Structure 1
Amino acid sequence: MRFEAAPDGAKRLHRFGLAIRAQRERKGLTLADMAAACGYSTSAWSRYENGSPIPPELPAKLDEVMGTQGMFAVLWDVIKDEMWPDRYRDYMRLEDGAREIGEYAPYVIPGLLQTPAYARALFEAVNPDATPEAIESMVDLRMSRQIRLRSADPPYVSAVLDEAVIRRAVGGPAVLCEQLEALLPLLDTSRTLLRVAPLARGAHAALGAPLILLGLADGGQAAYQEGLVNGQLVEDPDAVRARRRSYDRVSADALTPGESAALITAVIKECKS
């Protein structure tokens, strides 16, 4: 899933950035002042003021630092869903409130688990005509999806990675090594479960396309099936159950977390050598 900002969403983000800049200048603060006060780098802050997607926790920090009494939080609530193109908007709204997220990844590391360097290399590969600024905006947007995983009430995330995923050197060996090392602490925790589907076991029920399953707060379920150009949000209960069965089958045939850790560690050693 590329999840680039929608054209209308990009305009709204640009206006939001202008509002940040106007309030900062009204307070007599520099870029460096604001970056330090809110805990970001000056370069990241410059991108936010120029219309890059912002971290979800930033509006509250803006209101606190600049004394705007909730103005930025309200503005963000109005525009946040507009960042996404129409074809992704409904999915992102569901993902944001999901209690459980399960993903089968046949090609690349799932976006929720990507490091910035891995995401950047991936965006550069699939968007060869994009400017560096546009690439950084895409990276910021992808990283913003991960904030909830570090919140006080994160969703439960499980993923089955095809062995090809952990061997595909997106960004080169160094970037892949960093990415794989970031996966190791997440393999088996109270909130995450990651496993590898080995190539040696051949075909399986989910083979062919990325699949995401969402367990919603109201007890409902949804699925997102990725296609070559775009994807399909599936909410029909029978269709979701069919995809859930496919995911369960590939999960059952995957390596254990311990076996997955051993394989990932072996691939890291290969990268470093």
Structure 2
Amino acid sequence: MGLEQSSEGAPSPRQQFAEALRSARELHPGSTLSQTDLARKARTSKSTISRVETGTGPIPPELPPLFDQVFATDGLFKRLYEDTVAQSFPELYRRRMALEREAVAVWEWSPTIVPGLLQTGGYARAILRKGDPRASDREISANVGARLARQDVLRGAAPPDVRVVLCESVIRRRVGTHEVMRDQLATLLAHGERATTRIQILPLDAEAHLLIEWPVTFLTGPNHVTMVCVEAYRSAAIIDDQEPVRAAVRAYDGVTSEALSARDSADLIRDQMESL
């Protein structure tokens, strides 16, 4: 399937990406770069460049920053890629991702799986494959790339403060192969070593609490207003009414106080990883 316009008739983010890439290549200072030349500079194949320019395939997530480097475009392709990824999600999820990109603080609680911001590619692939067993490998790869692209917010010059509390069952439940799970646990440990990230484990014998049923994300924007994102089976809600938000924050504070310390949590994650 080729490029499509948005419902308003304006070029879609995907189309803007393709047009920007063609223009940058054809107007390259000195002389036009062929698709083969660009592929060599971006360490990919000519067929991949062709697919990206015609919109007949997903944009590999590693290419936008390389394009920005080759063309000195100061993050243009990275921004267009983020817009393209966001456009592939329903409106509510696009709003959540926009809030996530602007957040100065991200707090997560998950009783089920590792949150998307901390997932490895292998872990995300295993979950997405189970969720849609009829999807093609290309569709799964595109969805994995879209999910991993969200993690760019953690790699910027000013990443948000991240607090994550996981039910102990999350680190004990094997998702994918043993190797996939070991890699995911190792990645959690690596995230926990970042100065801006804290990961805690809530023991299985902890008491029940308000947030026990569903994954919950708290997103605090630059204006210091917090919104709560609640996810359920194939549905989600964003709560901005501050009274229930405050109640949810109090519940989250209770969860963090019952959870193991960051150090003890890391020890538990390490023990589980070594047992696999």
DSSP 3-state at the match of 1:264:
helix
Partner of 2:134, secondary structure, is coil
* Match among 218, 234, 245 for residue 213 of structure 1: 218
> Residue in 1 aligned with 2:239?
234
Asked if 2 retains the 8 angstrom alpha-carbon contact of 1:123 and 1:135, the reply is yes
* Deviation, structure 1 residue 134: 0.7
Range moving further from structure 2, 160-169 or 43-52: 43-52
For the structure 1 residues 178 and 44, does the alpha-carbon distance in structure 2 shift closer, same or farther, using more than 3 Å as the test? farther
1:90 corresponds in structure 2 to 95
Q: Which residue of 2 aligns with 1:58?
A: 64
Q: Within 1, Cα distance between the matches of 2:186 and 2:12?
A: 36
- Change in 2 beyond 3 A, CA 1:67/1:154: closer
Partner of 1:203: 208
Q: Is the 2:13–2:87 contact (alpha carbons within 8 Å) kept by the matching residues of 1?
A: no
Supply the distance in 1 between the matched residues of 2:75 and 2:120 (Cα, whole angstroms): 31
- Structure 2: how far apart are the matches of 1:233 and 1:101? 14
RMSD of aligned C-alpha atoms? 3.2
Question: For the structure 1 residues 198 and 48, does the alpha-carbon distance in structure 2 shift closer, same or farther, using more than 3 Å as the test?
Answer: farther
Equivalent residue number for residue 4 of structure 1: none
Q: CA deviation at 1:232?
A: 0.4
SS at match of 1:165: helix
Q: Does 1:268 align with 2:273?
A: yes
Change (3 A) 1:102 1:47: farther
* 1:183 aligned partner, one-letter code: L
User: 1:13 touches 1:83 (CA, 8 Å); kept in 2?
Assistant: no
Shift of 1:78: 7.1
Task: Give the distance between the partners of 1:207 and 1:267, measured in 2 at CA.
Answer: 23
* Residues 205 and 249, structure 1, Cα contact 8 Å, conserved in 2: no
Which segments of 5 or more consecutive residues in structure 1 lack a partner in the other structure? 1-6
Q: Which letter maps to 2:252?
A: Y
Question: 2: distance between equivalents of 1:232 and 1:141?
Answer: 20
Displacement of 1:137 after TM fit? 0.6
Residues paired across the two proteins, number: 261
Query: Which residue number corresponds to residue 19 of structure 2?
Result: 19
Bigger RCO of structures 1 and 2 (CA < 8 A, at least 6 apart)? 1
Q: Which residue of 2 aligns with 1:193?
A: 198
**How many angstroms apart in 2 are the aligned matches of 1:148 and 1:44?**
26
> Would you say the 8 A contact 2:199–2:262 is kept in 1?
yes
Equivalents in 1 of 2:108, 2:256: separation in Å?
A: 10
> Which residue is 1:115 aligned to?
120
Change (3 A) 1:196 1:21: same
CA contact (8 A) 2:17 2:81 kept: no
- Residues 47/239 of structure 1: CA separation in 2 closer, same or farther (3 Å cut): farther
Query: Quick check: 1:37 aligned with 2:41?
Result: yes
Which of residues 147, 153, 160 in structure 1 aligns to 2:158?
153
In the alignment, which residue of structure 2 is the partner of 1:3? none
Question: Counterparts of 2:119 and 2:82 in 1: how far apart (Å)?
Answer: 26
- Give the letter aligned to residue 127 of structure 1: D
Measure the CA separation in 2 of the matches of 1:172 and 1:75.
34
Q: Which shows bigger deviation, 67-76 or 45-54?
A: 67-76
Deviation at 1:87, TM superposition (A): 2.1
Secondary structure (helix, strand or coil) at the match of 1:233 reads strand
Q: Which moved more, 1:19-28 or 1:209-218?
A: 19-28
Give the 3-state SS of the residue equivalent to 2:125 in structure 1.
helix
Inter-CA distance 150–66: structure 2 relative to 1 (3 Å threshold): closer
Unaligned runs of 5+ in 2: 27-31
Report the identity percentage. 32
Instruction: Tell whether the 8 Å contact from 1:55 to 1:144 is kept in structure 2 after alignment.
Output: yes
Letter in 2 for 1:52: P
TM, length-normalised to structure 1: 0.82
CA distance in 2, matches of 1:72, 1:188: 30
CA distance in 2, matches of 1:89, 1:53: 18
**Deviations 1:44-94, CA, capped at 9 Å, x for gaps:** 7677554425659927x5366357899857866876653331121211111
Quote the offset at 1:236 in angstroms: 0.7
- Check the 8 A contact 2:35/2:49 in 1, yes or no: no
> What displacement does 1:251 show?
0.8
The alignment partner of 1:91 has SS state of helix
User: In the alignment, residue 12 of structure 1 is paired with which amino acid?
Assistant: S
